[in-house]
Chains A and B, each alone.
Chain A
Amino acid sequence: MVEIASPLGTAFKPGRHGKPDGAPGVIVCERKPATIVQVAAFSGRETAVREALVKAAGLKLNGKPGAGVVNGSRAGFGVAPGRWLIADDKEGLAGSFAKAIAHEDGAVTRLTHGRSVFRIEGPRAEWVLAKLFAVDFSPEAFPVGDAVSTTHHDVFAAIQRVGENAFDLYVFRSFARSFFETLVRAGEEVGCEVKA
Chain B
Amino acid sequence: MRITCPHCGRRDVAEFTYQGDANRLRPDPASTDQAAWNAYVYDRVNTRGPHREFWQHSGGCRAHLAVERDTATHAILSVSYARDSDTARAGRRP
Interface residues, chain A, CB within 8 Å of chain B?
Answer: 43, 65-66, 79-81, 83, 134-135, 148-151, 154, 156
| Min C-beta distance of B66 to chain A, whole Å | 14
B61–A80 touching, CB < 8 Å: yes
With contacts A148-B8, A151-B14 known, what are 4 further pairs, Cβ within 8 A?
A66-B9, A81-B6, A150-B8, A150-B15
Whole-angstrom distance between the alpha carbons of A12 and B56 in the complex?
Answer: 35
Is B60's CB within 8 Å of the partner chain A? yes
Residues of A near B12 (CB, < 8 A) are: 134
Q: How far does the alpha carbon of A135 sit from the alpha carbon of B7 in the complex, in Å?
A: 14
Interface pair B60/A81, CB less than 8 Å apart: no
* B6 contacts across to A, CB distance below 8 A: 65, 81
A79, B60: Cα distance in complex, Å: 8
Give the Cβ gap from B13 to chain A, nearest Cβ, in Å.
Answer: 10
Interface size on B, residues (CB 8 A): 15
Give a binary string over B76-91; 1 marks a CB under 8 Å from any A CB, 0 the rest: 0000010100000000
How far, in Å, is A46 (CB) from chain B's closest CB? Answer: 12
- Indicate whether B27 reaches chain A with its CB closer than 8 angstroms: no
**One of B59, B63, B81, B83 near A150 (C-beta < 8 A):** B59
Q: How far is the CA of A156 from the CA of B9 in the complex (A)?
A: 17
Residues of A within 8 A of B60 (CB): 80, 148-151
Closest CB-CB distance, B10 to chain A, in whole Å? 9
A148 CA / B8 CA spacing, docked (Å): 7
User: Which residues of chain A are near B26, meaning CB under 8 Å?
Assistant: none
A81 contacts B61, C-beta separation under 8 Å? yes
Asked whether B59 lies within 8 Å of A80 as measured between CB atoms, the reply is no
Contacts of B14 in A (CB 8 A): 134, 151
Chain B nearest Cβ from A153, distance in angstroms: 9
A151 surroundings in chain B (CB, below 8 A): 14-15, 59-60
For A83, what are the chain B residues with a Cβ–Cβ distance below 8 Å? 61
A66 touches B11 (CB 8 A): no
Once the chains are docked, how many angstroms separate the CA of A83 from the CA of B63?
11
By a CB distance below 8 angstroms, the chain B residues around A149 are 8, 60-62
Most buried by B among A65, A148, A149, A156: A149
A81 touches B81 (CB 8 A): yes
Chain B: CB-nearest residue to A135: B11
Closest Cβ of chain B to A142, distance in Å, is: 10
